Structures are given as C-alpha cells and as structure tokens.
Amino acid sequence: MNDQTQSRLLRWAALFLFLQSVILTLSPAVRERAWDVDYRLSHWIGFLAWGALTFLAHRAAIKYLPDRDPYLLPAAMLLSGWGMLTIWRLDETFGIRQSIWVGVSILAFILALRFLPNLTILRRYKYIILSGGLLITALTLIFGTNPLGFGPRLWLGCCGVYFQPSEPLKILLVIYLSAYLADRASIKLFSFPLLVPTLALTGVALLLLLVQRDLGTASIFICIFTVIIFIATGKRRILLSSTFFLSLVLLLGYFFIDIIHVRVTGWLNPWDDPTGNSYQIVQSLLAVANGGTIGRGLGIGSPLLVPVAISDFIFTAIAEETGLAGTLGLIATIWLILARGLIISLRASDRFRRYLAAGVATYLGVQSLLIIGGNVRMLPLTGVTLPFVSYGGSSLLTSFIALFLLLVISDTDDEEPAELHDPKPYTFLAGMLALGLALSALTTAWWTIVRGPDLLTRTDNPRRSIADRFVPRGKLVDKNNLPINVTEGKSGTYTRVYLYPELGPITGYTHPVYGQAGLEASLDAYLRGLQGNPASMILWHQLIYGTPPSGLDVRLSLDLSLQTTANQLLGGHRGAILLINADTGEILVMASHPTYDPNKLSEEGEALAQNPHSPLLNRATLGLYPIGTATLPMVRARFGEDQPTDEELRAYYGKLGLYNSPVLNIPTASDAGNEDPQTLRASPLQMSLAAAALSHRGVAPAPRIATAVNTPEQGWVVLPVLSQPFEAIQPRAADEAALAFIQPGRPYWSHVGQASLDKTIVTWLLAGTLPDWKGAPLALVIALEENNIPLANYIGENLLDTVLNQ
Amino acid sequence: MSGSIVLALRLATALALYGFLGWALYYLYHEVQRQSQALAGRRTPGISFTVKHGGGGSLYKHFAQPEITLGRDPGCDIPLMDDTVSTRHAELTYHHGQWWLEDLSSTNGTLLNETPITMPTVITSGDEIRCGATRLTVNLAEDVLIEPTQRIGKNENG
C-alpha cells in the first residue's frame, strides 16, 4: 500500500513536470505567434535525468525503508523537479548546473539509505558533527567568496564549484541539539545543561548576522533552537525569550547593518523608491500580479525582470508562470511535507528521533516561510533559498539530507511512539506553520487578484514595452489614410517608425525608456488594442498571450500634403501654424517648430529634454503667447471703433474661449489665471477657434484631431467630439468684421498683429475664409517667435492659396 | 493557435498539480481509515486475577478491557468488600504493550509484591497486588508475553 501510494504520487509529479516541459518547448511559438521558431529542447535532458533518478530513489526507498512515509519522497521530487525546470527556463547554464546538483543530491540520498541504516551514529558523534560544521562555517570568514563576485561572502569554493557551509550547518545544529537534549532525562529552562548549546547558538547567530550580514540564516537558527527546546521542555517562556531575541536581532540589523536597513525600509514603504532600494520587491509583486490565476505558462512570462530570479525570487518566477493555481499548489505541497514531518516526529520511537524530525520540519518550514513571505512582501526580504526549489547545490543537498532524515525516522514499523509529556508544543508548532503558510497563500492571492489589475498598469511595469515588441501597434494615418506613424518588423522585434518626423511634437512617440507623449500617449488605448476591440477578444489575448490584441489604426484630421507645405514654409523659424475647418473643427494642419525626429529618440532623448528651445513641446496647443493686437478683428466685431474697458475686454475674451483650455486628444493649455487682458496669453489653438468663429457666422467649432478608429467588427468608427461648439460672436458682427479685414483680390480676410512681453516679440497672423465662401470654411493662425511680419504674410498667403485653390 | 494549445496545456498542468495533491489527500484519508480499522481490530490481551479476601474467600475474575479499576465502590470493575480498601483504590491499564498498575491515592496504599508503588508500574504474570487486606494474583493471557503489538497491514505489501 505504501509503495503504491508513493509510486502513484510520483507518477502525478512526473506528469506535471512533463506538461511543464512541453509548455516550455512550445513557449517560443506562443511568444512570437508563429510556428517557424526555435523551439526550446535542452531542458528535456533535465527532465529525463530527473525521471531516471527519481525512479532509482523510489526503488531504493522501497528496498531500504519498507515502512517509510509514502508522501515525502513524491512531494520533495515534485518540488525539486519544478525548481529545476523553472531554473532551466530562466537560464540554461544554471539549468544544467541545477540538474547536476539534483542528480548529486539524489545519489547522495540513495547512498545514505544504503550505508546509514540507522541514526545512532549521528547521536554518538554529535560534538564532532557540530564542531566540524562550525569550523567549516568559520572558514568562510577567512576564505569566503561569493560566486557572483559581490554580496555576502558565504561560500567556500574552488575551481567553479561553490559550497555554502551555513546551509548544512542548519541540519547539523538540529542533529546536535536533538542528541544533546535526548541524552538528558529532564531539562529545566535557565539551567546549566542548557547554557552550553545556548551560548553556541547565540554565538553562531550573532556571527552570521554581524560578520556575514545574513539575517535570514540567523533567524532560522534562532527558530530551530527555540522549537527544539520548546518541544523538549514544553515551557512557553522559551518562546517569549526567543521572540525577544529575534526582535533584538532585527533591530540591531536595522540600525547597524546597511543591507538589512535597506530591506526593512523597502519592505515597509516599497512604493517610495520603486526603482532603487525597493526595485526587487516591486518587480517581484508585478511578476506575481502578472501571473494571474493560471499563470502565463512556463517560458511565456517575463520573470527575468526580477533580479536573482533563480534563487531568492524563484517563488515569484513560479507565481508569474504558473499563477495562483501553481503557488497555492506549491504551498500545499510544502504543507504536506511539514505536516508529515510533524506526524513522523510524533510517531518516532525515541526522543532523539522525535526532536530530530521536529527540528528538520521546522528548518524546512521556517526557511520556506521566510523566503515566500519575503517575495510577496509579507516579511522583510531575507536572501534564503526555497528548500528543494531554489538554485544552489548546498541548499539542494541540505534539503535532501532533511528528506533522508525524515524518511529514516518514519520507518518505525509499528513500534510504539515514545512517551509524550505535553502535546502543546506540537499543536503550537503545527498551528504556527499552518498559519504562516495560509497567510503566504492569502498574501499571494491578494497581490494576484485584488491588487493585480492596478499593479500591471503601473508605468514601471516593463511588461508593457515588452508586449509592444510582440504585438503590432495600430497606425496613425492622416485624413486620406496616408500613414504617419507605423509599426514595422516582425513579432519579437516590432519597432515604431515615424514616417513624418516633422510631426514629432504633435504625434509624439512611444518608447521603452522615455515612455509616451503626444497623440501616441493619448490614443494609447486604441493603438494598443485595449479599446475598440471586443472585450472577449481582449480577455482571450490576455489569457493566452498575456498581452493585448493587435492595436487599432486611428485616423487623424491632418492633411499630410498641407502639413508638408506648412512645415516647409515655417522652416527653421520657431513658432506654430494651425489650420482648422471652421465648421467641423477638424484640424488640417498643426505645425510646431523647432521639431525633432522621434526615430532618433534613443540617441537624442537626453539632449532633447535639455534643449533650451524645447523641441519636444507642442507649441500649437501648449505654447502660450501674448496676444497683443492679434485679436483686433474680433474686438472690432464686438466693439466697433470704441475702446473697450479692461472689464469688457476680459468678459469678451472669456466668451471667445481664451480663458479655457480647449478639449482635444492632446494636452492643451490656457492662461486662465491672468486677470489682465492686456497681458493675456493664448495658444495658437485657442486663437484658431476664435478666428474660426469669425469665418463661421460667430460660432467657434469644437476642435478635433483624432477622428476615427478602425475596429475589427465595424470598420472605421467615428470618434466622439470631445466638446461643444459655442457662439463666440454675434453672427452679423462676425460677417461684417471678416469683410472689414478682407485682402484685396483674395477670397479671405487676414490680420497681422504683434505683441511683446518680457522682451519676447511675437508676430501673429490670423486669417479665414469670407462669409460667402462656397467651400468648407477655414481659419488659419500663425504664431512666430520673432518680429517678422513679412514672413507671417508670406506663409499665410502661400498656405491659403494652396488650400483654397485645391 | 499555438496559444490555444498551450492554454490547454497550462490548464492540464494545473490539473496535474492538483491531481498530485488530490491523490495525496485521498491517501491521507485512506490512511486514517486503515489506521482506525487497525486500532479497532487491536484487542487488549486478557488478564485474570485470583482475588483472596482478607476473610479467606477466593474468587477468579477475567477481563478483556484495557482499563480495570479496583475499590470498595460497587461500580468498580473489581469491587472489594473490605474496609481497608479505599472507594477507588487502584487502576490497571493496558498501554505500550504492557499492563500498568497505578495507585489512585488510596488511604492504605497499593503494594506490588509487598512493595508500595508510587508511580505506574508494569506488572507481569505471577505478581501479587495487595490492597488493604485483599490480595490479587495476576495471570496474563499468553499472547501478551509473545508480542506487545501486532504488525497490522504488514503482510499486504509483500
């Protein structure tokens, strides 16, 4: 029955890992949405090695331990195989190494089963075991290195093989304490027999903390010591004093050790510094959130964004790629191991074995809780490994020693369990471990389900720009469907190409480092496919790819041929041009100079931001220029030859909309706070609306620039107008004023005004069609940041001649 | 297309993981069931006493239960009509494969082979228990001496 249970559970574990391996093989096809890709195959070596060695371990366990616990081996094998495949997915080199370590650990496990039939020898040589362990750990103080070349020097190494003595030291401590306490009939708290181990432990813990700065391992030592003493004595006071000691250690670390201070601060306030000290934890939470319910699938998420994903943050990597389903299963598997460990301890035939099993279970439990809790921001981050799962030979070997000890102790046949004086420590320990695991599960679920959607829209979530490389972004086209900004390349290497770079300040950019600006930012939801696509399609794509569906094309009201003319006319001068349909509000031309090339943002980004002439600024909507005499035609329309008071002027400007920011798809500005109409400033867009009123019987139109979106179901769908047209001038007065500014021999009115404020001179040109114009009424505004009336007239005449003779 | 196939695989993976856990839970349940049946099937080996009252009368009693009480109280398993015996005088229990004798703070004490006992003490066949003026000679059934516990379910595995 025992053997059958173990064999069937191992088969389930093998099936799970087999399916994971298949997913990893297919993952490139899913990422690139194509079949013609390089499939990942190398991890099958690891899977096959795991299968063969697991079979050997299974046979050896049946042979040498006929009455062992049947759950432990399958659970441990599931975890170690899962960790190995995850590591293989993250980094093939480390995958090979981890597979070798899994092999070494399983072989060591089998050899131990063969040559260490009972544990009496461990009990007899407890002092040699402990002092040996301490000695080797002490050697790291002198010869210690770190395989990464930086960080705590906890390893002993030579020739590419590294070993971390503090890992097996945990097990050695458990063995020593169990043997020491089992040799004494009754133990009193605060007595001499307890003094020796207490001092030894305190020394080791403080050494680890102060010299190696390893808070995690120090805490594990304190926890193991506490639990074994608690189980041996049944005294609750030990818990109190250990909690006190643990808090003291934490406080000491917080105030005197930089790395612990950083980690505790990062734990308490991660959102204060998400790109610096809290980078790891914030990225970890983003990865957990990205996992969702069933995860992205092995090889399809982006867990490598989290630093040290292979060891410290392997739980996060698992959460991202197998989701909440996976993490809950992982936590349940850990609970299976811990619960069986405690039952084995209770059934043990003597006190040594009982303490040993409880200590081993505590070691596995506390270490798992520390790192899972650290990954999901339940506890401060401590760099310990997840037993059986994380990368690392020392950690894996120690985990398998723990498995070996538990299995040997479980093989008691039907011997009566040793006497138990007090069941309290066991109920307490089991309760605490279960509570801790349940809390980690709840915290993981909280970040995944409750906070997940919010987290994923954070701008520091790099998954958005990664998705942009794999999903085509929608095009921006002009009113005649000529492309302006397009996405080129193939899945995996999509890049945004700006075919008409002079429009840079208006259409903006989308960039992995500099983010988004202009229309690319404001129309992002359509261009990224998150709006306009059917909700079911968006959900489906999120589910299978973890990205939005293909983006939708957006049509702008701009006319590229007129835009080209305007850009050429404005040339190297600083200023803005705005040509608007006075009836529909569609903006035909929007030019802002100086301009920049969004295609070269990667190289020039920093310089552009520093440029004193602000090429990134959209002068047409955000540039506020003093209006001076530019509004003369409108003022005439209202007041005739009379000189209006400031009060009247202010009210009239308000009516013309000069105090409001027009509503458009791109950011607009107004000088709303300025009470003095003589120094009022306005943007070319505001002025164009006022000029349009003069050419359209006094009604200022609602401006539009994004006019339609190409949806998969209904084709081109008109985008809603964002504001309402309003009557700015009396219709008759508007017509009369327009006629008063008529240009001889031409079908339009125009007026050139100037303004100066703070030593800057602005030349304005306002123009528009006449009331009897048969075509679409138009209004033109030119703003030049220089004293250049001839240029303003030249641009105005050329542009209007072109557009009106079309 | 590849996405749909992998989605099916992802669901299958989750199913395999929970299949593992489900079977583990099923076996745990099964283990509880087997253990309870095994314990229910485990019988306390019989014990019998030859009771000699102070007055001279003699009586033979046999028990097959794991707890036996002695005392003047008529509710006791071995009621002793003797004024030197306390109401609930002593108790015999079977655990850890042994019969244990424990004095229940009686007035005159319980003696095992003429030695007063202070803590639960293992008894064997032929031992003489004295409560007040009453003497009981213990006679354990044979199977107790052979094997303290039985290897239940052992042979099924093969």
| Chain A residues 398-427 with CB within 8 Å of chain B | 413-416, 419
* Contact assessment for residue A594 and residue A483, using Cβ atoms and an 8 Å cutoff: no
% of residues, chain B, pLDDT over 90: 13
When pLDDT is cut at 50, 70 and 90, the band that residue A150 belongs to is: low
Whole-number pLDDT of residue A231: 86
Name which residue leads in pLDDT, A111 or A279.
Answer: A111
When pLDDT is cut at 50, 70 and 90, the band that residue A118 belongs to is: confident
Distance CA(A659)–CA(A639), nearest Å, equals 19
Whole-number pLDDT of residue A783: 94
Q: Which helix (H) or strand (E) segment is A64 a member of?
A: helix A43-64
Whole-number pLDDT of residue A259: 77
Whole-number pLDDT of residue B152: 44
Helix locations, A348-478, DSSP H = 351-375, 393-410, 424-445, 452-456, 463-470
- For residues A625-629, give the mean pLDDT: 89
The 10s digit of each residue's pLDDT in A673-700 is 888 888 889 999 999 999 999 999 889 9
The 10s digit of each residue's pLDDT in A392-408 is 888 999 999 999 999 99
> Is the ipTM value over 0.85, yes or no?
no
Q: How far is B30 from chain A (nearest CA, A)?
A: 10
Residue A643 above 90 pLDDT? no
Name which residue leads in pLDDT, A447 or A270.
Answer: A447
Nearest chain A residue to B28 by CA distance is: A71
Dihedral (CA of A113, A115, A120, A122) sign: negative
If you count DSSP H runs as helices and E runs as strands, how many of each does chain A have, helices first?
A: 30, 19
Whole-number pLDDT of residue A160: 61
Q: What are phi and psi of A581, to 5 degrees?
A: -75, 115
Of the listed ranges A77-91, A342-356, B38-52, the one predicted with least confidence: B38-52
Residue B154 above 50 pLDDT? no
Name chain B contacts of A8, Cβ cutoff 8 Å: 23
Which of A2, A78, A295 lies closest to B10 in CB terms?
A295
When pLDDT is cut at 50, 70 and 90, the band that residue A373 belongs to is: very high
Distance CA(A471)–CA(A524), nearest Å, equals 13
- For residues A86-95, give the mean pLDDT: 92
| Chain A residues 96-115 with CB within 8 Å of chain B | none
**Selection from A99-103, A183-187, A205-209 with the highest mean pLDDT:** A99-103
Residues 6+ apart with CB under 8 A from A519: A476, A506, A507, A508, A554, A556, A665, A666, A705, A706
Residue A94 above 60 pLDDT? yes
The 10s digit of each residue's pLDDT in A524-576 is 999 999 888 999 999 898 888 888 899 999 999 999 999 999 999 998 899 99
| Chain A residues 738-757 with CB within 8 Å of chain B | none
pTM of the predicted model, to two decimals? 0.79
When pLDDT is cut at 50, 70 and 90, the band that residue A317 belongs to is: very high
Name chain B contacts of A23, Cβ cutoff 8 Å: 6, 9-10, 13
Residue A791 above 50 pLDDT? yes
Q: Are the beta carbons of B157 and A35 separated by less than 8 Å? A: no
The 10s digit of each residue's pLDDT in A597-617 is 999 988 888 888 888 888 999
Q: How far is B37 from chain A (nearest CA, A)?
A: 15
- For residues B49-75, give the mean pLDDT: 82
% of residues, chain A, pLDDT over 90: 44
Q: Are the beta carbons of A23 and B27 separated by less than 8 Å? A: no
Name which residue leads in pLDDT, A273 or A739.
Answer: A739
Q: Are the beta carbons of A19 and B18 separated by less than 8 Å? A: no
Of the listed ranges A194-208, A443-457, A503-517, B107-121, the one predicted with least confidence: A194-208
Whole-number pLDDT of residue B145: 44
Q: Are the beta carbons of A326 and B17 separated by less than 8 Å? A: yes
Name chain A contacts of B1, Cβ cutoff 8 Å: 35
* Contact assessment for residue A236 and residue A280, using Cβ atoms and an 8 Å cutoff: no
Q: How far is B55 from chain A (nearest CA, A)?
A: 41
Q: Are the beta carbons of B24 and A416 separated by less than 8 Å? A: no
Name chain A contacts of B5, Cβ cutoff 8 Å: 26
Nearest chain A residue to B11 by CA distance is: A294
Distance CA(A684)–CA(A712), nearest Å, equals 36
Residue A421 above 90 pLDDT? no
- For residues A33-51, give the mean pLDDT: 91
Q: How far is A20 from chain B (nearest CA, A)?
A: 7
The string of DSSP codes covering A21-52 is HHHHHHHHHHHHT-SSS----THHHHHHHHHH
Name chain B contacts of A292, Cβ cutoff 8 Å: none
- For residues A185-211, give the mean pLDDT: 68
Chain B residue set in contact with A, beta carbons under 8 Å:
1-7, 9-14, 16-21, 23-24, 27-28, 34, 96-97, 148-154, 156-157
Distance CA(B110)–CA(B118), nearest Å, equals 9
Helix locations, A211-313, DSSP H = 215-233, 237-256, 258-268, 279-291
When pLDDT is cut at 50, 70 and 90, the band that residue A1 belongs to is: confident
Name chain B contacts of A323, Cβ cutoff 8 Å: 14
Whole-number pLDDT of residue A303: 87
Residue A286 above 70 pLDDT? yes
Whole-number pLDDT of residue B157: 40
Nearest chain A residue to B27 by CA distance is: A5
When pLDDT is cut at 50, 70 and 90, the band that residue A189 belongs to is: low
Nearest chain B residue to A544 by CA distance is: B3
| Chain A residues 303-342 with CB within 8 Å of chain B | 322-323, 325-326, 329, 332-333, 336
Whole-number pLDDT of residue A692: 93
Whole-number pLDDT of residue A703: 94
Name chain B contacts of A417, Cβ cutoff 8 Å: none
Q: Beta partners for A477?
A: A483, A555
Q: Beta partners for B98?
A: B95
Q: How far is B96 from chain A (nearest CA, A)?
A: 6
Residue A650 above 80 pLDDT? yes
- For residues A101-126, give the mean pLDDT: 87
Distance CA(A50)–CA(B129), nearest Å, equals 63
Q: Are the beta carbons of A30 and B20 separated by less than 8 Å? A: no
Whole-number pLDDT of residue B151: 45
Name which residue leads in pLDDT, A149 or B79.
Answer: B79
Average confidence score pLDDT of chain A = 88
Name which of A4, A9, A349, A411 to mutate to probe chain B: the one with the most chain B Cβ atoms within 10 A of its Cβ.
A9
Whole-number pLDDT of residue A148: 63
- The C-alpha angle with vertex A716 and arms to A710 and A718, in degrees rounded to 5, equals 110
Whole-number pLDDT of residue B87: 86
Nearest chain B residue to A412 by CA distance is: B151
The 10s digit of each residue's pLDDT in A750-788 is 999 998 877 788 999 999 999 888 889 999 999 999 998
